[in-house]
């Protein structure tokens, strides 16, 4: 692995674990086993590392959404696939990172907000259209409203105020809100599939 790639990978790992504010260039250099001078030879400052690290994370999200869409057999399987991806991501992502980026790095946060609108919201809308065409989601859903509702659910799951980490486990929160969402928009045929994918037992 190239030194630059190793620095970026290390920085992103540390940002995800500890947040961005408390991680210094010296911390990153030490974890990489190189000098701080070497880090600065590849990245002009910490802001550059944050910007590039977040962009890589967003690019990974986009690639996964596309892969899920192509590899799944129906809209519900696609949605569950995305849910599992986000849940696994959450296991290695401290919500403090997002809070600190929003508060201290507004330029980076604007890129994340653009991603939400241009990629995340678009992907949710396409999934809704797919499910309606497959007869798995109810017809005549107001796609713009329902898509934003789903996006808000996903964002709330990362909100420490709504779901404090000492009271809620992210995988359980994500599965609960996803099951509720799908069953709210699914047809009878869709209910059978979501019960199967999420292993929900009818009472």
Q: Can you tell me the distance from the alpha carbon of 153 to that of 179, in angstroms, rounded to the nearest whole number?
A: 12
What are the beta bridge partners of residue 186?
Answer: 137
What is the set of domains in the chain, with CATH numbers?
Answer: 54-197 (1.10.357.10)
> Which pLDDT score, from 0 to 100, does residue 203 have?
47
Cβ-Cβ contacts under 8 Å for 113 (sequence gap 6 or more): none
Query: Which residues of the chain fall below pLDDT 70?
Result: 200-203
- DSSP per residue over 94-123, as a string? -HHHHHHHHHH-HHHHHHHHHHIIIIIHHH
pLDDT of amino acid 200: 60
DSSP structural state of residue 160: T
Per residue in 17-49, pLDDT (tens digit) is: 999 999 999 999 999 999 999 999 999 999 999
| Element at 195 (helix H, strand E) | helix 188-197
pLDDT tens-digit map of 65-81: 999 999 999 999 999 99
């Amino acid at each position: 692995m190239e030194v630059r790639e190793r620095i970026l990978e290390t920085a992103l790992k540390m940002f995800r674990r500890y947040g961005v504010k408390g991680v210094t260039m010296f911390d990153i250099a030490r974890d990489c086993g190189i000098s701080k001078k070497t880090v600065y030879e590849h990245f002009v400052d910490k802001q550059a590392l944050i910007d590039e690290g977040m962009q890589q994370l967003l690019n990974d999200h986009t690639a996964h959404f596309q892969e899920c869409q192509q590899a799944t057999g129906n809209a519900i399987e696609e949605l569950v696939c995305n849910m599992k991806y986000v849940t696994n991501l959450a296991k290695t992502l401290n919500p403090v990172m997002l809070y600190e980026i929003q508060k201290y790095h507004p330029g980076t946060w604007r890129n994340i907000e653009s991603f939400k609108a241009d990629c995340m919201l678009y992907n949710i809308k396409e999934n809704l259209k797919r499910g309606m065409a497959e007869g798995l989601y109810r017809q005549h859903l107001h796609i713009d409203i329902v898509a934003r509702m789903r996006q808000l659910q996903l964002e709330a799951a990362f909100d420490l105020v709504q779901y404090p980490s000492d009271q809620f486990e992210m995988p359980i929160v994500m599965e609960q809100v996803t099951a509720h969402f799908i069953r709210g928009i699914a047809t009878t045929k869709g209910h059978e599939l979501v019960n199967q994918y999420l292993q929900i037992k009818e009472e």
